[in-house]
Structure 1
Amino acid sequence: MFRSEARKNSNVEQLALSIFQLLNRAETQFEAIDRILKEIKIFLDVSATAIRLEDEGDYPYYFFDGFSDTHIEMENSLCNEIIDGVPQLACMCGRVLMEKTDPDLPFFTESGSFWTNNTNKLLEVTTLEDIGETRNVCNIEGYLSVALIPLKSSEGVIGLLQLNDEAQDKFSEDLITYLEGIGESIGIALSRLEEEDRRKELEIERKKLLYHYQLRIRELDCLYRISKLQENQDLSIDDILNLIVNLLTDSTQYPDLTVVRLTVEDPVYLSKNYMTPSQSYSAMIQSYGLVVGRLTIGYIEEKPETFKGPFLEEEIKLFNLVSETVSRMIERKKTGDWRKSLDRYALILDDDEMRHLTKLVLEDMAISEMDREEFNISDLPDDSTQSFDSYMSLQYNLELNRKLIIKLQNLFKGEEIL
């Protein structure tokens, strides 16, 4: 008997040393718990082990080994109800976790653990008032020896170690005391690891924010450089558009993989070392409501999906803003060219008049093109906002202004007014 007890004590001391070493070497809470449970199961020769940890007021199984799927499904959640904002935990596990144990009862300890070597006998000799409401799942599944050891940190009980076996008399008072000491060490170590995990998560979040901050700086720098290009009177619009496509390549997440293609009517502007991208996003270039080109940004290698394809929401906003900027540049250039022609005929038009009349000219050109192609109003998509009435209204307004439009078209071509 003495040798047997000494051997048990030696095994427990060896288990404690092994657990301390695992806790010191473990880098994450997940890794620590996984290894600890395996060590406990082997050293104590029990059929099932588990650790419960807090999760939004409940204490589900964080790790388990040896329990059936049915047991885990039935026993995973302990939270029955919430009273005054405090979760009420069920069964014996709940009493240990909520520290509602009574050390005067033989199955509880001074440190708040529960243990029994025979659940059948316990249920026979214990009143409902003493043992409380239990689900009795462990006993129904044939577990006679059950031990529930609280895991404690400086903040109190943070979890629970559960040991079950079908055989009786697997535990002793001394063994439970040893396990309670190990439980406190595990609790403190898990709290430390949880804090370390939280610190790592914050560091990852910090790096993520820094990364996005750096991206925003690159985007703002791109917009600033484009604005400075527009102020440079020595640059032609072709020079500016060539520079813009190369500025955009440095504003994305993957500058080395970025290619840009810009078309404005006939000219095509390509970034350096351009090749056909495997993923891309395109934004329209418009002049007075008509599409005159397209800005396409892409990656030559596949990248993970984010907001729109591989591009972040902020990048899409940047691309759209640049396309708008280029559209306004094209409009200003056309307005400037037309103004030179109009000035020769001493016509005085302010910006609003010019914009309005130019749009009428272009709309007339568009409808003329439709007429040449025998445009059929029934071919419009079902969701088109251009109904037959609006089409006829546009034709009527154009007829009223047709003489003025013809004069303007001739002026734009540098011809005389008849």
Structure 2
Amino acid sequence: MPFANCPVKGRIRALFAEFPATGAVMLELAMKPTSASTPSGLELLKAGILPLSRQILRLANAGTPRIRFLREVSKGLLEHAGCDRLEIWLSDVALDYRWIAHADGTGRFDFARTGTPAGVGEGKPHENDGVAEIAKRILAGATPVSSIHITSNGSWWTNRLSSPAGSAVAWIPLVVDEDTRGLLVLMAEPARLKFSPDAIAALEGMAQILGMAIATRRAQSALRERIKELTCLYRISHVIEQEDVPFEQRISRVVSLLPEAWQFPEIAAAQIMLDGRSNEAGDCSKLVYRQQADIVVGGTRRGFVEVGYTESYEDFAEGPFLPEEQKLIGAVARELALCVERHETYVERCRMEEQIRHADRLATLGQFAAGVAHEINEPLGGILGFAQLIQKSGEISPQSAADVEQIIAASLRAREIVRKIMLFARQTYPEKRAIELSAAVDDAVLFLEPRCAKQGIKLERRLAEPSPVILADPVQINQVVVNLVVNALQATSGAGRIVVQTKDLGGAAQIIVSDTGCGIKPEIMDRIFNPFFTTKEIGVGTGLGLSVVHGIVTSHGGTIDVTSEPGHGATFTVNLPTAAESTGKGV
């Protein structure tokens, strides 16, 4: 059975059967010595073949990177064979390459994609000699030229090649696997050694050991990279699933796992850029080579994952990154996209749940407030009525008249509070009709301009034209705008600014009131719509303005949102359905 087709477990046995001279390395090998007193190349090979084989297989089992592996193997072969130069030619389904090493330790790696017109060995004129030409002939299946010996195992050799002049050269077939064929080429000056059939037989056996080592190195390297890839993805998945850990902290942990998953972690650096914020492991500003994969969430590019190397290695001859690494960085980007999507879904769910809880609290407060308002309204009407009767009687002292005036003022204030409570509790129902939102907002703002001017605050209108049309109670929309602007006035001092806007979003319309005031502290943000909650001084506000706004907006099928940064103002956004959206048809 041909050696290349033997089962893996039988290859060593077949090697010894097919190459008895190598099997006995250890067997009596003999090469014609150039002198009786100097050990021949074969004697050196015989003395070192066993430790050399062990060294080669040890390098292969370690999955040593290709260039380092070739350099170490070449050093050992040249030393033990007594040659001046070594070449390894390999060709597989993806790549042709030629490795050239010299006894002085220098080396060069040429490669070309399989099927390219020039192929390997074409790059430098001084390398375009007879050695390369014959190597190409052998790989192409051509017949030997004159003065070339050929063995039954397909090796070519000569002790007097014309170019380079007089060189002793051997071209030994390399069998790596079914898809990879190649040659081991050894050269020496004739004055140093001459090849013989026994020497070629020994080198054929060594070439087969080298072929097995190359196959093992490839398998071990691929296995190690696959283990690193799977380990990296497993650790990333574990980090992403830790929902009790803050999102930014999880992203930072993910990026720290990336460099060690690449082929050369000692010079690797990584970066995750997400929504303009960067997390780095290593110094990405020094990257010499880099690869990226986009983070795409819901069809939108939100950032990227980047991994690269800060230095250049000789192993980068055919490219710094493995195909598996490009797949890995793509997988990491997809995992991060899913993580972002899940996180945003979780945040939105929490926000909606909080809104529901808040709405429930407001509904409960509204029911309570309605009951209180009804209980207060009747006796309050009596107090106000009797006080006004006393005032009109004219039969009281000046001091009593002043006291009655205070009673009437307090009663009117209490009645206004009751009215707002009724609005908040939705005990008064809106009389809805189609109105132009911009006109309604403009009317409300008009009455507040003098007050703003008096306080030195600039009031700007940015009203949509044409105006969106909504189905609403114009009086209540007026109350919404007035309450929001008054709230902004009370929060703004000095040369501040209030901007009132309307927007048409198609199926929805917006009223936006923003100011440059003191803003709202985060710890009270979820309480600002509660009735009677206020941060103002006693007598300045009732704490019902925003509660009334919330009640009116909700009764119109809308929502109200607020954003604020303490010291930098606040923005209230009222979202209302348009008339067409409310009725299901055009106005």
TM-score band by shorter chain is 0.5 to 0.7
Counterpart among 186, 192, 203 of residue 216 in structure 2:
192
Name the CA distance, whole Å, in 2 between partners of 1:194 and 1:212: 27
1:154-193 counterparts in 2 under 5 A? Answer: 155=178, 158-165=181-188, 170-173=193-196, 174-193=198-217
Say if 1:145 and 1:170, in contact at 8 Å, map to a contact too: yes
2:90 equivalent in structure 1:
53
Q: 1:35 and 2:85 equivalent?
A: no
2:235 equivalent in structure 1:
211
Name the CA distance, whole Å, in 1 between partners of 2:96 and 2:213: 18
Q: 1:393 and 2:466 equivalent?
A: yes
Say if 2:92 and 2:181, in contact at 8 Å, map to a contact too: no
Say if 1:58 and 1:78, in contact at 8 Å, map to a contact too: yes
2:425 equivalent in structure 1:
344
Counterpart amino acid of residue 237 in structure 2:
Y
Q: 1:148 to 1:401 in 2, by over 3 A?
A: farther
Q: 1:281 to 1:119 in 2, by over 3 A?
A: closer
Counterpart amino acid of residue 413 in structure 1:
L
- CA deviations on 1:78-129 (whole Å, 9 max, x unpaired) are 95569xxxx9x99432343455556998433221222233332xxxxxxxxx
Counterpart among 173, 177, 180 of residue 150 in structure 1:
173
Q: 1:303 to 1:213 in 2, by over 3 A?
A: same
Say if 1:147 and 1:164, in contact at 8 Å, map to a contact too: yes
Equivalent residues, number: 305
Counterpart amino acid of residue 107 in structure 1:
H
- RMSD (Å) for aligned C-alpha atoms: 5.3
Name the CA distance, whole Å, in 2 between partners of 1:4 and 1:252: 70
1:181-330 counterparts in 2 under 5 A? Answer: 181-219=205-243, 248=247, 252=251, 254=253, 303=281, 308=303, 312-329=336-353
Q: 1:119 to 1:204 in 2, by over 3 A?
A: same
Counterpart amino acid of residue 80 in structure 2:
F
Q: 1:406 and 2:478 equivalent?
A: yes
Name the CA distance, whole Å, in 2 between partners of 1:91 and 1:103: 11
TM-superposed deviation, 1:35: 1.5
Stretch deviating more after TM superposition (306-315 or 145-154)? 306-315
2:171 is paired with a residue whose SS is strand
2:173 is paired with a residue whose SS is strand
2:466 is paired with a residue whose SS is helix
1:392 is paired with a residue whose SS is coil
Identify, as 1 or 2, the structure richer in strand.
2
1:118 is paired with a residue whose SS is strand
TM-superposed deviation, 1:187: 0.9
1:111 equivalent in structure 2:
153
TM-superposed deviation, 1:61: 2.3
Say if 1:117 and 1:168, in contact at 8 Å, map to a contact too: no
Q: 1:204 to 1:103 in 2, by over 3 A?
A: farther
Name the larger-Rg structure: 2
TM-superposed deviation, 1:298: 9.2
Counterpart amino acid of residue 180 in structure 1:
E
2:152 is paired with a residue whose SS is coil
Name the CA distance, whole Å, in 1 between partners of 2:278 and 2:177: 54
After TM superposition, the score normalised by the length of structure 2 is 0.40
Say if 2:91 and 2:180, in contact at 8 Å, map to a contact too: no
Name the CA distance, whole Å, in 1 between partners of 2:219 and 2:343: 41
1:261 equivalent in structure 2:
none
Counterpart among 42, 50, 53 of residue 9 in structure 1:
42
Could you tell me the percent identity over the aligned residues?
Answer: 15
1:162 is paired with a residue whose SS is strand
Say if 1:152 and 1:187, in contact at 8 Å, map to a contact too: yes
- CA deviations on 1:333-359 (whole Å, 9 max, x unpaired) are 66556656566224689xxx9xxx9xx
Gaps of 5+ in 2: 1-31, 123-131, 257-271, 285-291, 296-302, 306-332, 367-422, 484-543, 552-587
Say if 2:176 and 2:215, in contact at 8 Å, map to a contact too: yes
Name the CA distance, whole Å, in 2 between partners of 1:218 and 1:208: 16
Q: 1:200 to 1:339 in 2, by over 3 A?
A: same
Q: 1:166 to 1:281 in 2, by over 3 A?
A: same
Say if 1:149 and 1:162, in contact at 8 Å, map to a contact too: yes
Name the CA distance, whole Å, in 1 between partners of 2:253 and 2:176: 46
TM-superposed deviation, 1:330: 5.5
Say if 1:103 and 1:110, in contact at 8 Å, map to a contact too: no
TM-superposed deviation, 1:12: 1.9
Name the CA distance, whole Å, in 1 between partners of 2:275 and 2:188: 65
2:58 equivalent in structure 1:
25
Name the CA distance, whole Å, in 2 between partners of 1:53 and 1:364: 80
- CA deviations on 1:296-346 (whole Å, 9 max, x unpaired) are x997xx535785488943443344334433543465466556656566224
Counterpart amino acid of residue 159 in structure 2:
N
Say if 1:144 and 1:168, in contact at 8 Å, map to a contact too: no
Identify, as 1 or 2, the structure richer in helix.
1
Q: 1:320 to 1:52 in 2, by over 3 A?
A: farther
Counterpart amino acid of residue 20 in structure 1:
S
- CA deviations on 1:22-71 (whole Å, 9 max, x unpaired) are 124322243443222012223344332232334544321256347999x9
